[in-house]
């Protein structure tokens, strides 16, 4: 089944609409909680329907994203198994390209991101259940750390996928390969570089969200700092909404890059089939493992 990574929940277009509404006003709802002047006002703000809805929409979106990363990890395992049938692994030689080892590392990193996204979802969901402001701020700092962990995860993936792209590109210079096979390796390497760049951008956005929650959990917000916090984002959104919207756009870029990788894998398998006649008829399904399907997983 095609996978489409984006900030949405399980109810397709309805939930995506909820995400778009949430990012527009989440800053104002969350500052009401942090800026509460008394325990009573804090509880009123935290238990208000708009704030609870924002928390639930976003925590659901993060969990769904984690589920989609797990699906991609499963698909990567299937791709790896299929490619091994066509190209048996070669002995590891220091200094020589080792795309299979890189590929396995990418699989593991996607698994880690899936798990960390689900941790974020669980921690984010606690933001409307704290008994008091002091506990809420501790929960906010936990969410901040979760975002920073995801930033590191994405940066790690960017590095590994960049190395994989370079290793794949090196395979394109094998004189024993057909022209078509070398061209397929070259194309796939280029598409992998786009995925690497997308993860670099996503890493920056995760870090920005971590910084937002570090501010929210780090001390009292006065009227002046409240205004300054909200002013950090372009009207009508504050910094949280701005960073969430930017993150969603980065995942759209990642989807497009993953679609290019799927195309590259198809080209690679077709070229192997033409050169070695090892095809078994199922390579036409390769692109379906990653190709986006217009926004619905």
Per-residue pLDDT band for 294 (boundaries 50, 70, 90) equals very low
Are the C-beta atoms of 272 and 87 separated by less than 8 Å? yes
Whole-number Å distance between alpha carbons of 113 and 256: 19
Would residue 3 count as lying in a domain? no
Are the C-beta atoms of 81 and 104 separated by less than 8 Å? no
Would residue 258 count as lying in a domain? yes
Q: Which has more pLDDT, 240 or 274?
A: 240
Q: State residue 290's pLDDT score.
A: 46
DSSP H or E run through 131:
none
Q: Which has more pLDDT, 92 or 119?
A: 119
DSSP H or E run through 176:
none
Would residue 297 count as lying in a domain? no
Would residue 49 count as lying in a domain? yes
Q: From residue 204, give the alpha-carbon distance in Å to each of 83, 149, 159, 164, 257.
A: 33, 12, 14, 21, 18
Give 206-258 as a DSSP string: HHHHHHHHHHHHSS---HHHHHHHHHTS-TT--HHHHHHHHHHHHHHHHHHHH
Would residue 2 count as lying in a domain? no
Per-residue pLDDT band for 208 (boundaries 50, 70, 90) equals very high
Whole-number Å distance between alpha carbons of 229 and 16: 26
Query: Where in the sequence is the domain holding 243, given as residue range(s)?
Result: 12-289
Query: Which of 243, 266, 255, 295 has its CA nearest to residue 187?
Result: 266
Report the domain count for the chain. 1
The reply to whether omega before 236 is within 30° of 0 (cis) is: yes
Would residue 7 count as lying in a domain? no
Whole-number Å distance between alpha carbons of 109 and 105: 6
Q: State residue 231's pLDDT score.
A: 62
Torsion on CA atoms 283, 284, 288, 291, rounded to nearest 10: 100
- The position carrying tokens 């299937």 is 78
Q: What would the mean pLDDT of 235-247 be, rounded to a whole number?
A: 84
Whole-number Å distance between alpha carbons of 168 and 166: 5
Per-residue pLDDT band for 270 (boundaries 50, 70, 90) equals confident
Query: What integer best gives the mean pLDDT of the chain?
Result: 81
Would residue 126 count as lying in a domain? yes
Q: Give the CA radius of gyration of the chain.
A: 22
Of 22-36, 128-142, 150-164, 187-201, the poorest mean pLDDT is in: 22-36
Would residue 25 count as lying in a domain? yes
């Amino acid at each position: 089944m095609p996978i489409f990574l984006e900030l949405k929940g399980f109810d397709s277009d309805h939930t995506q609409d909820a995400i778009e509404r949430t990012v527009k006003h989440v800053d104002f709802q969350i500052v009401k909680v942090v800026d509460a002047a008394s325990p009573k006002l804090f509880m009123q703000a935290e238990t208000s329907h708009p704030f609870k809805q924002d928390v639930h929409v976003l925590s659901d979106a993060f969990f769904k994203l984690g589920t989609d990363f797990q699906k991609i990890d499963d698909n990567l395992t299937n791709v790896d198994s299929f490619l091994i049938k066509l190209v048996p692994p070669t002995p590891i030689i220091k200094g020589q390209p080792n795309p299979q080892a890189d590929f396995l590392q990418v699989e593991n990193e996607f698994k880690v991101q899936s798990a960390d996204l689900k941790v974020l979802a669980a921690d984010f969901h606690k933001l409307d259940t704290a008994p008091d402001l002091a506990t809420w701020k501790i929960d906010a700092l936990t969410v901040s750390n979760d975002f920073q962990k995801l930033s590191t995860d994405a940066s790690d993936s960017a590095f590994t996928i960049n190395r994989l792209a370079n290793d794949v590109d090196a395979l394109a210079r094998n004189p024993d390969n057909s022209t078509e096979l070398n061209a397929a390796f070259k194309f796939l390497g280029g598409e992998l570089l786009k995925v690497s760049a997308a993860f670099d951008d996503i890493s920056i956005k995760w870090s920005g969200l971590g910084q937002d929650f570090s501010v929210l959990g780090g001390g009292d917000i006065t009227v002046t700092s409240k205004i300054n916090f909200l002013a950090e984002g372009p009207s009508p959104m504050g910094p949280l909404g701005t960073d969430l919207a930017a993150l969603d756009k980065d995942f759209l870029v990642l989807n497009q890059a993953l679609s290019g990788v799927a195309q590259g894998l198809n080209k690679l398998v077709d070229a192997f089939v033409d050169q070695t006649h090892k095809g078994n008829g199922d390579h036409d399904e390769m692109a379906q493992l990653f190709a986006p399907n217009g926004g619905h997983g």
